């Protein structure tokens, strides 16, 4: 079973129905619901998700998004070890480094994102949602 970290942008694509990315992101979310892989999210992503969705769609929708994420995704806690590891990674963005650090600490198989530049310097494979869907199809 593949264990993948879903970057915040992929989750927001689904929850905010952001076209053109929402089609692949929604298919990926459905694949997770169908138990074709384990989808993870960092605890810190949930605060970002709430903030962004509240800003664009209102408080009620933001809370729904957080509850959906809590109910349907595996949440990776963020502690001092992940924070320290993130400071040692080569990336230019602390948030992206923290995502990588969480994936490394949990020994995840890959990260799914549309933001290749933020994750370009790491040892974990990076896939777009479309690439992940193709990978899942080839595993069937």
pLDDT at 77 over 80: yes
On the question of pLDDT at 48 being above 80, the answer is yes
Partners of 110 in the β-ladder: 4
| pLDDT tens per residue, range 98-137 | 999 999 999 999 999 998 877 766 778 999 999 999 999 9
SS3 55: helix
Residues 32 and 101: their CA atoms lie apart, in Å, by 22
CA angle at 38 for the pair 33 and 43, rounded to the nearest 5°: 100
Backbone dihedral angles phi then psi of residue 136, each to the nearest 5 degrees: -65, -40
Q: From CA 137, how far away is CA 131, in angstroms rounded?
A: 10
112 neighbors 4 (Cβ within 8 angstroms): yes
Give the pair of three-digit tokens for residue 134: 């193709």
**What domains, with CATH codes, occur in the chain?**
3-139 (3.40.50.1010)
């Amino acid at each position: 079973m593949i264990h993948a970290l879903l970057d915040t942008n992929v989750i927001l694509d689904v929850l905010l129905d952001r076209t053109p990315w929402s089609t692949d992101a929604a298919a990926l979310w459905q694949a997770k619901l169908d138990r074709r892989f384990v989808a993870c999210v960092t605890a810190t992503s949930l605060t970002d998700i709430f903030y962004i969705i509240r800003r664009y769609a209102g408080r009620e929708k933001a809370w729904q998004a957080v509850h959906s994420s809590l109910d349907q995704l595996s949440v990776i806690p963020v502690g001092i070890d992940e924070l320290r590891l993130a400071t040692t990674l080569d990336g230019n963005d602390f948030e992206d480094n923290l995502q990588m650090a969480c994936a490394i600490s949990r020994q995840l198989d890959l990260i799914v994102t549309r933001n290749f530049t933020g994750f370009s310097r790491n040892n974990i494979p990076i896939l777009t949602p479309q690439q992940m869907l193709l990978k899942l199809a080839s595993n069937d």
